[in-house]
Structure 1
């Protein structure tokens, strides 16, 4: 245990002080901060919506009653379209609005230098509200009666499962939480797994494995390296996350803050499932990548040997994104019982549906069984593979490593 801790501490210290770690952390911080500030950057450098304060209005409709102001824009009446157009061209107004006499409704044409964007809808709503209020007043209808007549009918959709103890939510913040968790599992498992495999292969490539196993057993070296690389990646992600949260609160990004707050309102069980499935995914793929690294004689071989695991991770991530839109889909449901996909799709299901407890327990149990089997096989394989430097195929190296492990 002491040797494992020493290898862990040495791996963490060396990687934390490496220039590559410092540069990659700085780049990640810059990218995250730019992404969070992107809406404000677009508003600052973009053209934005035109700011208007007044419009010339020509009302040829027989019954439309126009207010003197709507949506913060002053409406100046004119008799003729030519007069309104001249006022716009002379800079007296920021544009002009023409209402024609139409039996099918009130249709207006707006003429300005640029697109108003959302301001056009606000202007239309303001004119309509003023027209309805004035028309109701002429007919002797009270404001409360008008409000009851014009109140929209809203329908909230919810999906119910077949009972159980899972968390259920259709809130946007919960969807953000689901995506964030599966994205973290994907990125952490992929990058951390590759780094574990690269580190172990690098030790073999530099021919230092003979020295390492003379002071520590192969099992201690395997777990020390794996835990050290995992810890440095966890530290990097925590640093980026804390910096992002501080920046969001300090910069007053209300939209992002509201999403974080709504995600923070998730049930305690949801957060427990998030931690459980996150750990399951990291341990499972980290163990498999460590085994791949022990089979590689040099770092260039890691990428080829790890392609099947990478394909599994990409497939699980894509399937979980599909599950965010359709958590009850048969493929999503079936994949949640496959241990390679369970950390991704089962969490999406538990956060969107009421998943029966037995389904959740079965999927977690199957994943734990695969983790235990993978760890046992990786340890046995690692004992024989640490000194395998041949250029044979992956299957032959596995066979050779198993034979060497039996002799020990």
Structure 2
């Protein structure tokens, strides 16, 4: 057991302190922070440089339209005495001038601006519509605020499920994007850290360091120690990215934090995501360690990893398709396949109602498969680390098992 923890600590520390790990983690953390901060900065800049609208009312409402516009305003506004004054003040303040004309039945507005202000024009038109309706109801129809309320209250539309339909989150809701993001993260971790394991083992083997390690540490102990060590490095990587996301959300303002906590995050889904990240890593990581032990040079590791990477890619692309129809029987069946389970079952849990017994059954199948795969991988690894020569997947596995039996 002591050798196991020595291997774990040595692998984790070496990986975490490596330049490539530090740089890649820092870059990802920076990009995550920028994802949160840049939109907030742009919004702040836009609000700081918001256009002030100077209003001149020359309509038959005798200034009441300008006053009501100012009451309903969703922008910086000031009332001017005449059209000329409004235009002059707008020019001095780099703002806009709104000239309200028309009669009591139909208001018209002319917005004088320095450039293209399509959004401001649309916003101004919406407010003028409300000004027209409220003044007409109040002064022509002589309706008080209570009586005129139904004219402006809007109609609320709710939705209910058709009888027999199963409830699931709406497409493009917070859950949708959270599931999409976490499915991608599961795929990225499986591929990147699986490749890292294979490269690590192959590099030690090609430098002949493996022969010295095997003489003092059991190959099986070494394999699981490397899996655990690189897994710890992966958790450090995830923690750094999560900290960057939290810092970015905090710096971008309270509204962003509130939106993420209330609309995006589902804490039960986060728990499932962590579980499937760990189980998916163990499943694919065992295969990656076995593959790294079968090659003689580090340059061959990526080529040898291609079948495993393709398997993970297939699971990812199936999951992307399933996002729009997770209830289809084909995706339910495929979620029982251990190599597809981490992404597909997680997707189904996030996007539809999956019975608790089915979740438990599929997770048990995944755990049992991960154990069996790692036991088989350990046997191949034991013989593979002592083999050198040209790589052939099928032949190398057979030779590695034979060598493993002799060593036993």
State if a TM-score over 0.5 links the two structures: yes
* CA pair 160-284 structure 1, distance change in 2 beyond 3 A: farther
What is the CA–CA distance in structure 1 between the aligned matches of 2:163 and 2:283, rounded to whole Å?
A: 29
Equivalence map 1:147-186=2 (5 Å): 147-157=149-159, 169-170=169-170, 172-186=173-187
1:140 to 142, 150, 153: 142
Matches of 2:148 and 2:232, distance apart in 1: 63
Q: 1:106 to 1:354 in 2, by over 3 A?
A: farther
SS in 2 for 1:155: coil
What's the offset of the Cα at 1:305?
Answer: 1.4
Cα pair 1:95 1:110 within 8 Å, conserved: yes
For residues 122-271 of structure 1, the aligned pairs below 5 Å read 122-138=123-139, 139-157=141-159, 169-170=169-170, 172-249=173-250, 251-262=251-262, 266=266, 268=268, 270-271=269-270
CA shift, 1:172, in A, is 4.1
CA deviation after TM superposition for structure 1 residue 114, in Å: 2.5
Unaligned runs of 5+ in 1: none
Which residue of 2 is the match for residue 302 of structure 1? 301
With over 3 angstroms needed to count, the CA separation of the structure-2 counterparts of 1:16 and 1:90, relative to structure 1, is closer
- Per the normalisation by structure 2, the TM-score is 0.83
Contact 2:336 2:362 in 1 (8 A): yes
2:77 to 69, 73, 79: 73
How many angstroms apart in 1 are the aligned matches of 2:87 and 2:193? 67
Would the aligned equivalents of 1:49 and 1:116 in 2 still touch at CA under 8 Å?
Answer: no
Deviating more after overlay: 315-324 vs 369-378:
315-324
Corresponding residue for 2:377?
A: 378
CA distance in 2, matches of 1:172, 1:134: 39
- Does residue 25 (structure 1) correspond to residue 29 (structure 2)? The answer is no
Counterparts in 2 of 1:173 and 1:86: CA distance versus 1, 3 Å = closer
Residues 253 and 219 of structure 1: CA distance in aligned 2, closer, same or farther (over 3 Å)? same
Matches of 1:386 and 1:362, distance apart in 2: 35
Q: Hey, what's the Cα distance between the residues in 2 that align with 1:303 and 1:55?
A: 67
Partner of 1:94: 96
In structure 2, distance between residues paired with 1:341 and 1:28: 26
Matched positions, count? 399
Residues 1:36 and 1:75: Cα distance change in structure 2 (over 3 Å): same
Structure 1 contact 163–355 (Cα < 8 Å) conserved: no
- Please state how far the C-alpha of 1:98 moved relative to its aligned partner: 6.9
Paired with 1:404 and 1:137, the residues of 2 have a C-alpha distance of 94
| Structure 2 spans left out of the alignment, 5+ residues | none
Further displaced range: 139-148 or 214-223:
139-148
Contact kept, 8 Å, 2:107 with 2:132, in 1: the verdict is no
Question: Counterpart of 1:327?
Answer: 326
Once residues 393 and 101 of structure 2 are traced to their aligned partners in structure 1, the CA distance between those partners, rounded to angstroms, is 77
Q: Output the CA distance in 2 between the equivalents of 1:273 and 1:163.
A: 25
Cα deviation 1:264-309 (Å, max 9, x = unaligned) = 86364x4443332222212112122112211221111111111222
- Between 1:91-100 and 1:366-375, the stretch displaced more is 91-100
- Asked if structure 1 preserves the Cα contact closer than 8 Å seen for 2:58 and 2:99, the reply is yes
Contact kept? 2:53, 2:90, Cα under 8 Å: no
Deviation at residue 387 of structure 1 after TM alignment: 1.4
1:312 paired residue number: 311
How far has the Cα of 1:30 moved from its partner?
2.2
Cα displacement (A) at 1:227: 0.9
Contact 2:11 2:226 in 1 (8 A): yes
Structure 1: distance between partners of 2:227 and 2:112: 66
CA distance in 1, matches of 2:15, 2:265: 36
* Number of the residue aligned with 1:352: 351
In the TM superposition, what is the alpha-carbon distance from 1:262 to its structure 2 partner? 2.0
Q: Secondary structure at the match of 2:337?
A: coil
Q: Distance in 2 between matches of 1:12 and 1:196?
A: 11
Q: 1:264 to 1:12 in 2, by over 3 A?
A: same
Q: TM-score, normalised by structure 1?
A: 0.83
TM superposition shift of 1:4: 1.0
Paired residue for 1:53? 53
CA shift, 1:131, in A, is 1.9
Shift of 1:215: 0.7
- Identify which range, 333-342 or 190-199, moves more after superposition: 333-342
1:261 & 1:134 partners in 2: Cα distance? 41
Cα distance 1:327–1:111, how it changes in 2: closer, same or farther (>3 A)?
A: farther
